Structure 1
């Protein structure tokens, strides 16, 4: 069932910016690239929009953000749903990788109406996010707490480190 919710151009632009890595980007452009971002419903529930201020920039890493994964987990609202993109940097036994992970956050404590609207609108945002390899529905902090669950999603037992920290 589709909800009729639209994805704003701003959300699509952020996704495209995160998806396309510019090899010739200067240091300033790299610092402004997003490591993670949250999306929410607009007040009138008709559009999926950027969740104001809920992002991690690459330039924040090592300064205001020490552990990007833990910082990302803390950004999620404890009692409402969100969509998120997380640019995971990880190593397998063979190689280093970076992949975008689409996360549908629907905690048990979220209102039923919110869960229904977000669930029925998920396809709208997923259709706009072409080329996402990893999708993850998370229903509580216990699913997110440690890096093992994300490492499983990214490559199972072949993942040896996530965000520079060993698994």
Structure 2
């Protein structure tokens, strides 16, 4: 009888044991499936980021240039000459970051020296068959006063590839979030959108009497 109790207690101990073994058994499968789907999910976003341009980064230099153009610190004449009048930005070759396009800028010191008409020169710097972003420091006059205000441009010409137009359009918010406090925004689809009358309209409509020193 003594052994019977032992057997009973052993069987009692063994009886519940299949359940703990059985219960966790199905659990690891969903967990491993979950982790594998998690891994594939982690692998997927870069591809969608490429095509949808969500999550495009903005290079620090772009933000620094905007800050310098916006603040217009009281400067010596030499420093003022080095201030940027216009800068063009583009997407990096891998389309993951908005960067400064090399050599595509006008300095305040260039105006009247190597550049006669800064706005005309700015328009000529834009590519005929691809998209760009740009900042332009507009000098204009209203009936009351002279003003300098930054303009943000999205350049998306008709001849640009559709993919380029889509990426630049969907990434615009990324760069605009960094450009806080810009009053004037202009989307241009061709040179006709960048004539003086259109720009004057953007800057203040009929109140604007001159733009970059020339009557409107």
Aligned to 2:210: 161
1:31 equivalenced with 2:62 (yes/no): no
Aligned to 1:63: 113
1:20 equivalenced with 2:71 (yes/no): yes
Superposition pairs for residues 1-167 of structure 1, below 5 Å? 3-23=54-74, 25-144=75-194, 146-167=195-216
Number of residue pairs aligned between Structure 1 and Structure 2: 165
Partners in 1 of 2:133 and 2:83 — Cα distance?
18
What TM-score does the superposition give when structure 1 sets the normalisation length? 0.97
Partners in 1 of 2:77 and 2:207 — Cα distance?
31
Q: 5+ residue gaps in structure 1? A: none
Greater C-alpha radius of gyration: 2
RMSD: 0.9
What TM-score does the superposition give when structure 2 sets the normalisation length? 0.75
Q: Going by fraction, where is helix more abundant, 1 or 2?
A: 2
Do the aligned partners of residues 2 and 78 (structure 1) sit closer, same or farther apart at CA in structure 2, a change above 3 Å counting?
Answer: closer
Q: 5+ residue gaps in structure 2? A: 1-51
CA contact under 8 A between 1:2 and 1:123: conserved in structure 2? no
Q: Going by fraction, where is strand more abundant, 1 or 2?
A: 1
The alpha carbon displacement at 1:73 in A equals: 0.6
Deviations 1:108-132 (A, max 9, x none): 1000010011011000000000000
The alpha carbon displacement at 1:2 in A equals: 6.0
Partners in 2 of 1:63 and 1:3 — Cα distance?
41
Greater RCO structure (CA 8 Å; 6+ sep) = 1
The alpha carbon displacement at 1:3 in A equals: 1.6
CA contact under 8 A between 1:82 and 1:104: conserved in structure 2? yes
Which portions of structure 1, spanning 4 or more consecutive aligned residues, are displaced by more than 6 angstroms? Answer: none
